[in-house]
Amino acid sequence: MEFKGRIQRLIKKLDEKSLDSFLVTTDKNVAYLTGFRGEDSILLLTRKKVFFLTDSRYLEEARRNIEGCEITLVRGSTYDTIQDIAAKARLKKLGFESMNLHYEVYKRLKTMLKKTRLAGLQDMVEAMREIKDRQEIEAIKRAAKLTSSICKEFFKSIEFGRTEADLASRLKIAFIEKGASAAFDPIVASDGNAALPHAIPGSDKIKKDCVFMADLGARLNGYNSDMTRTTLFGKVSAKAKKIYDIVKRAQELAIKAVAPGVKASSIDSAARGYIESKGFGRFFGHSVGHGVGLDVHEWPSISGHSHALLREGMVFTVEPAIYIPSLLGVRLEDMVLVTRGGCEVITGGAG
């Protein structure tokens, strides 16, 4: 991974914000900039030097694996360590991740850093993470490929009469057996339960004739995947078949619209507009997609409110749905990579 290059790009951003330093406290952002995947570690960037602050638990790991940073052992208080660096470097304006740093921590730093002004900023690193480099894309594709493979085998082996919770547990175990982990708690739901977008698998048993939904993803080497499949088992109503076909067509239209320079909101509109034209608009409430990478949900947002323009290297989901309360839910979710000429669907599998 090009960690040094990422750090240098972030340092260049300091000029744009009139900062002479920046504090990175979000674990995933620290990982993005250094490759370090531990916890309770902080990155303090200045124009001349980058300090990696950690305690004795992670010190040796940091020394072995992190390049381009001064590894700094926090012996007592992290606040004291930051105060010491700020004083020696004569920091005048320190930016921090306002969506991550707790208010009580901010108050204490403000009290201790009397000669340094604090500036809360949003999405400094998240905006960089929006565009994936070649190595990130390869990592995401591996996670997506594994998810697709597990999903395919899962649908082949479903035993009717098993509970939703049991089947969801099987998915977790399948990821572990393949050297990964579940990126999130898998959703397994049928019929009326599938009408809950984030259904919690319970004791309901899967029937031979039902609308069946599974939402799953892998976390592999730090990167995530996310996909949903809905299948119509056995004899289901004509309405269920109609809704499935509508959602499938809505997804096809949205994926077809993906290309560099296109508004993210247009992707949402392509799917939502079709669903609305078929009379089911009020049964589709969430956005059409979200970015996937170090987090399962990250930039860009593929919603009707998004102002983002799609760019080559973005990876996000396309997941239109229709949820009829107490009756059924149909969601189809795939991950796409924006390419120079359009997009590449990087998930496949059952459904």
Per cent of the chain over pLDDT 70 is 99
pLDDT of 2: 86
pLDDT in tens, 286-325: 999 999 999 999 999 999 999 999 999 999 999 999 999 9
Residue 8 belongs to what H/E stretch? Answer: helix 3-16
Q: Tokens 């082996």 sit at which residue?
A: 157
Helices (H), 178-296: 238-256, 264-277
Residue 272 is part of a domain; what is its CATH number? 3.90.230.10
Same domain, residue pair 181 and 107: no
Same domain, residue pair 273 and 333: yes
Helices (H), 77-163: 78-89, 103-112, 126-129, 134-156
Same domain, residue pair 122 and 170: no
Specify if 193 maps to a domain.
yes
Q: From CA 86, how far away is CA 299, in angstroms rounded?
A: 31
Q: Which of 55, 45, 2, 46 is nearest to 24 (CA)?
A: 45
Same domain, residue pair 155 and 170: yes
Same domain, residue pair 240 and 308: yes
Neighbours of 57 (CB within 10 A): 11
Specify if 351 maps to a domain.
no
Domain of 59 in residue numbering reads as 3-129
Q: Which of 298, 302, 267 is nearest to 286 (CA)?
A: 302
pLDDT in tens, 168-209: 999 999 999 999 999 999 999 999 999 999 999 999 999 999
Specify if 350 maps to a domain.
no
* Identity of residue 37: R
pLDDT band at 1; cut points 50, 70, 90: low
Which residues does residue 212 pair with via DSSP β-bridges, in sequence order?
A: 190, 231
Query: Is 331 buried (19+), middle (13-18) or exposed (0-12) by CB count in 10 A?
Result: buried
Same domain, residue pair 118 and 197: no
Tell me which DSSP letter residue 222 carries: T
Q: From CA 348, how far away is CA 351, in angstroms rounded?
A: 9
Number of domains in the chain: 2
Residue 351: is its pLDDT beyond 80? Answer: no
Which segments within the chain are labelled E, that is strand?
21-24, 42-46, 50-54, 70-73, 93-97, 117-121, 181-182, 187-190, 210-216, 218-220, 223-224, 227-233, 289-291, 298-302, 315-318, 321-324, 328-331, 334-339, 342-345
pLDDT of 83: 95
pLDDT in tens, 233-261: 999 999 999 999 999 999 999 999 999 99
> Which tokens in the block code for residue 10?
């972030």
Same domain, residue pair 240 and 297: yes
Residue 15 belongs to what H/E stretch? Answer: helix 3-16
Per cent of the chain over pLDDT 90 is 95
Same domain, residue pair 226 and 265: yes
Query: Is 305 buried (19+), middle (13-18) or exposed (0-12) by CB count in 10 A?
Result: exposed
The answer to whether the CB of 302 falls within 8 A of the CB of 333 is no
Contacts of 351 (CB under 8 A, 6+ apart): 151, 155, 229, 230, 231, 332
Specify if 84 maps to a domain.
yes
